[in-house]
Chain A
Amino acid sequence: GEEVAQTPKHLVRGEGQKAKLYCAPIKGHSYVFWYQQVLKNEFKFLISFQNENVFDETGMPKERFSAKCLPNSPCSLEIQATKLEDSAVYFCASSQSGGYNYGYTFGSGTRLTVV
Protein backbone atom coordinates (compact mmCIF):
# COMPACT_ATOMS: atom_id res chain seq x y z
CA GLY A 1 0.00 0.00 0.00
CA GLU A 2 0.92 3.65 -0.22
CA GLU A 3 0.73 4.40 3.47
CA VAL A 4 2.88 3.66 6.46
CA ALA A 5 0.75 1.63 8.84
CA GLN A 6 1.39 1.97 12.55
CA THR A 7 -0.25 -0.12 15.28
CA PRO A 8 -1.65 0.28 17.79
CA LYS A 9 -2.96 3.84 17.61
CA HIS A 10 -3.03 4.16 21.38
CA LEU A 11 -1.16 2.24 24.08
CA VAL A 12 -1.40 2.66 27.84
CA ARG A 13 1.21 1.09 30.09
CA GLY A 14 1.93 1.21 33.79
CA GLU A 15 5.36 2.42 34.75
CA GLY A 16 7.83 -0.47 34.47
CA GLN A 17 5.77 -2.39 31.92
CA LYS A 18 6.91 -3.24 28.41
CA ALA A 19 5.56 -1.48 25.32
CA LYS A 20 5.85 -2.72 21.75
CA LEU A 21 4.97 -0.62 18.72
CA TYR A 22 4.70 -1.80 15.12
CA CYS A 23 5.25 -0.20 11.74
CA ALA A 24 4.64 -1.52 8.25
CA PRO A 25 6.57 0.67 5.79
CA ILE A 26 5.48 1.30 2.22
CA LYS A 27 6.43 -1.61 -0.06
CA GLY A 28 9.56 -0.82 -1.97
CA HIS A 29 10.83 1.68 0.58
CA SER A 30 14.21 0.59 1.85
CA TYR A 31 14.61 3.09 4.69
CA VAL A 32 12.63 3.13 7.93
CA PHE A 33 12.88 5.78 10.63
CA TRP A 34 11.47 6.11 14.15
CA TYR A 35 10.82 9.49 15.75
CA GLN A 36 9.43 10.45 19.14
CA GLN A 37 7.20 13.55 19.31
CA VAL A 38 6.85 14.99 22.78
CA LEU A 39 4.37 17.55 24.14
CA LYS A 40 5.97 20.67 22.75
CA ASN A 41 5.96 19.26 19.21
CA GLU A 42 9.63 18.44 19.29
CA PHE A 43 10.58 15.54 17.03
CA LYS A 44 13.40 13.45 18.42
CA PHE A 45 15.16 11.03 16.05
CA LEU A 46 15.51 7.57 17.53
CA ILE A 47 16.78 5.10 14.94
CA SER A 48 16.88 4.37 11.22
CA PHE A 49 17.15 1.19 9.18
CA GLN A 50 18.29 0.47 5.65
CA ASN A 51 16.37 -2.69 4.84
CA GLU A 52 16.84 -4.88 7.93
CA ASN A 53 20.12 -3.30 8.96
CA VAL A 54 20.46 -0.57 11.57
CA PHE A 55 21.67 2.55 9.76
CA ASP A 56 21.82 5.09 12.59
CA GLU A 57 20.91 4.45 16.22
CA THR A 58 22.41 7.56 17.78
CA GLY A 59 19.06 8.69 19.19
CA MET A 60 18.16 5.48 20.97
CA PRO A 61 18.27 5.24 24.78
CA LYS A 62 19.86 1.83 24.47
CA GLU A 63 19.35 0.64 28.00
CA ARG A 64 15.58 0.38 27.51
CA PHE A 65 14.81 0.87 23.83
CA SER A 66 15.33 -1.63 21.04
CA ALA A 67 14.12 -1.86 17.46
CA LYS A 68 14.07 -4.38 14.63
CA CYS A 69 13.13 -4.53 10.96
CA LEU A 70 13.07 -8.17 9.88
CA PRO A 71 12.23 -9.41 6.37
CA ASN A 72 8.54 -10.03 5.73
CA SER A 73 7.53 -8.66 9.14
CA PRO A 74 6.46 -5.24 10.40
CA CYS A 75 9.25 -3.22 11.99
CA SER A 76 9.00 -2.90 15.76
CA LEU A 77 10.08 -0.54 18.51
CA GLU A 78 10.16 -1.99 22.00
CA ILE A 79 10.51 -0.16 25.28
CA GLN A 80 11.41 -2.26 28.30
CA ALA A 81 10.45 -0.95 31.73
CA THR A 82 8.62 2.15 30.55
CA LYS A 83 9.01 5.43 32.42
CA LEU A 84 6.61 8.39 32.67
CA GLU A 85 8.96 10.39 30.43
CA ASP A 86 8.41 7.88 27.60
CA SER A 87 4.86 9.22 27.17
CA ALA A 88 4.82 10.62 23.63
CA VAL A 89 3.63 9.95 20.11
CA TYR A 90 5.97 7.62 18.26
CA PHE A 91 6.10 8.06 14.51
CA CYS A 92 7.47 5.69 11.95
CA ALA A 93 8.43 6.91 8.48
CA SER A 94 9.76 5.25 5.36
CA SER A 95 11.48 6.49 2.23
CA GLN A 96 12.67 5.15 -1.09
CA SER A 97 16.00 6.79 -1.42
CA GLY A 98 16.89 8.05 2.01
CA GLY A 99 14.84 11.21 1.86
CA TYR A 100 15.81 13.04 -1.30
CA ASN A 101 13.18 13.85 -3.92
CA TYR A 102 10.41 12.07 -2.10
CA GLY A 103 11.00 12.97 1.50
CA TYR A 104 9.81 10.69 4.21
CA THR A 105 6.27 9.30 4.39
CA PHE A 106 5.06 9.22 7.97
CA GLY A 107 2.50 6.98 9.60
CA SER A 108 -0.22 8.36 11.86
CA GLY A 109 1.71 7.50 14.98
CA THR A 110 1.23 5.49 18.17
CA ARG A 111 0.33 7.51 21.26
CA LEU A 112 2.01 5.90 24.27
CA THR A 113 0.78 6.94 27.69
CA VAL A 114 2.72 5.70 30.70
CA VAL A 115 0.78 5.96 33.95
Chain B
Amino acid sequence: QQQVKQSPQSLIVQKGGISIINCAYENTAFDYFPWYQQFPGKGPALLIAIRPDVSEKKEGRFTISFNKSAKQFSLHIMDSQPGDSATYFCAALWGATNKLIFGTGTLLAVQP
Protein backbone atom coordinates (compact mmCIF):
# COMPACT_ATOMS: atom_id res chain seq x y z
CA GLN B 1 0.00 0.00 0.00
CA GLN B 2 2.97 2.27 0.43
CA GLN B 3 4.33 1.61 -3.05
CA VAL B 4 4.57 4.08 -5.87
CA LYS B 5 4.68 2.37 -9.27
CA GLN B 6 6.53 4.15 -12.07
CA SER B 7 6.74 3.52 -15.80
CA PRO B 8 8.44 3.24 -18.18
CA GLN B 9 11.76 2.00 -16.80
CA SER B 10 13.59 3.74 -19.63
CA LEU B 11 12.66 6.19 -22.35
CA ILE B 12 14.35 7.46 -25.49
CA VAL B 13 13.08 10.71 -26.98
CA GLN B 14 14.29 12.85 -29.85
CA LYS B 15 15.37 16.42 -29.16
CA GLY B 16 12.34 18.67 -29.22
CA GLY B 17 9.94 15.83 -28.43
CA ILE B 18 7.70 15.29 -25.42
CA SER B 19 8.81 12.94 -22.62
CA ILE B 20 6.04 11.40 -20.53
CA ILE B 21 6.58 9.43 -17.33
CA ASN B 22 3.73 7.90 -15.38
CA CYS B 23 3.22 7.00 -11.73
CA ALA B 24 0.46 5.35 -9.74
CA TYR B 25 -0.13 5.01 -6.01
CA GLU B 26 -2.48 3.15 -3.71
CA ASN B 27 -2.37 4.98 -0.41
CA THR B 28 -4.90 7.82 -0.37
CA ALA B 29 -3.12 9.26 2.67
CA PHE B 30 -0.34 10.55 0.40
CA ASP B 31 -0.73 14.31 0.21
CA TYR B 32 2.22 15.71 -1.71
CA PHE B 33 3.70 14.43 -4.97
CA PRO B 34 7.15 15.67 -6.02
CA TRP B 35 9.27 14.71 -8.99
CA TYR B 36 13.04 14.44 -8.67
CA GLN B 37 15.77 14.53 -11.32
CA GLN B 38 19.00 12.65 -10.67
CA PHE B 39 22.22 12.87 -12.67
CA PRO B 40 24.93 10.19 -12.33
CA GLY B 41 26.95 10.61 -9.15
CA LYS B 42 24.56 13.22 -7.73
CA GLY B 43 21.70 13.25 -5.32
CA PRO B 44 18.13 13.66 -6.55
CA ALA B 45 17.07 17.28 -7.03
CA LEU B 46 13.51 18.52 -6.69
CA LEU B 47 12.07 19.38 -10.10
CA ILE B 48 8.40 20.13 -9.55
CA ALA B 49 5.69 19.07 -7.09
CA ILE B 50 1.92 19.04 -6.77
CA ARG B 51 -0.72 18.66 -4.07
CA PRO B 52 -3.76 16.43 -4.68
CA ASP B 53 -6.22 19.33 -4.73
CA VAL B 54 -4.71 20.55 -8.02
CA SER B 55 -5.05 18.71 -11.35
CA GLU B 56 -2.13 20.31 -13.17
CA LYS B 57 0.99 22.30 -12.40
CA LYS B 58 3.35 23.80 -14.95
CA GLU B 59 6.83 25.20 -14.45
CA GLY B 60 8.62 26.11 -17.65
CA ARG B 61 8.88 22.99 -19.82
CA PHE B 62 7.81 20.68 -16.99
CA THR B 63 4.16 19.84 -16.25
CA ILE B 64 2.62 17.50 -13.70
CA SER B 65 -0.83 16.12 -14.48
CA PHE B 66 -2.65 14.68 -11.48
CA ASN B 67 -5.72 12.42 -11.52
CA LYS B 68 -6.91 11.97 -7.95
CA SER B 69 -9.75 9.54 -8.72
CA ALA B 70 -7.42 7.25 -10.69
CA LYS B 71 -4.59 7.73 -8.19
CA GLN B 72 -2.19 8.50 -11.03
CA PHE B 73 0.11 11.35 -11.88
CA SER B 74 2.51 12.02 -14.69
CA LEU B 75 5.42 14.24 -15.67
CA HIS B 76 5.50 15.82 -19.11
CA ILE B 77 8.71 17.36 -20.40
CA MET B 78 8.01 19.56 -23.40
CA ASP B 79 10.69 20.36 -26.00
CA SER B 80 13.01 17.74 -24.47
CA GLN B 81 16.71 18.63 -24.62
CA PRO B 82 19.86 16.47 -24.38
CA GLY B 83 20.57 18.17 -21.04
CA ASP B 84 17.35 16.62 -19.70
CA SER B 85 18.94 13.17 -19.99
CA ALA B 86 18.85 11.86 -16.41
CA THR B 87 16.92 9.50 -14.16
CA TYR B 88 13.54 10.80 -13.02
CA PHE B 89 11.82 9.67 -9.86
CA CYS B 90 8.26 10.31 -8.86
CA ALA B 91 7.55 10.29 -5.14
CA ALA B 92 4.74 10.59 -2.66
CA LEU B 93 4.82 12.10 0.79
CA TRP B 94 2.74 10.82 3.64
CA GLY B 95 2.40 13.85 5.86
CA ALA B 96 1.53 11.91 9.00
CA THR B 97 4.82 10.01 8.86
CA ASN B 98 6.79 12.69 6.97
CA LYS B 99 8.17 9.87 4.83
CA LEU B 100 8.90 10.26 1.13
CA ILE B 101 8.19 7.08 -0.88
CA PHE B 102 9.97 6.91 -4.23
CA GLY B 103 9.02 5.28 -7.49
CA THR B 104 11.53 2.99 -9.18
CA GLY B 105 12.90 5.60 -11.58
CA THR B 106 12.87 6.25 -15.33
CA LEU B 107 16.10 6.62 -17.26
CA LEU B 108 15.50 9.29 -19.91
CA ALA B 109 17.81 9.67 -22.89
CA VAL B 110 17.19 12.62 -25.21
CA GLN B 111 18.90 12.10 -28.53
CA PRO B 112 20.25 15.16 -30.40
Q: List chain A positions with a Cβ less than 8 A from chain B.
A: 4, 31, 33, 40-43, 45, 48, 50, 55-56, 91, 93, 98-100, 102-109
Contact = CB atoms under 8 A, between A and B. Distances in A.
Nearest to B45: A106
Nearest to A97: B98
B32 interface: yes
Interface of B: 32, 34, 36, 41-46, 49, 87, 89, 93, 95, 97-102, 104-105
A107 B43 contact: yes
A100 B100 contact: no
Contacts of B32: 99-100
B104 A109 contact: no
B101 A100 contact: no
A48 B32 CA distance: 18
Contacts of B89: 41, 43
Given A41-B104, A106-B45, 13 more contacts: A31-B98, A41-B89, A41-B105, A45-B101, A48-B98, A50-B98, A56-B98, A98-B95, A99-B100, A102-B46, A103-B49, A108-B42, A109-B43
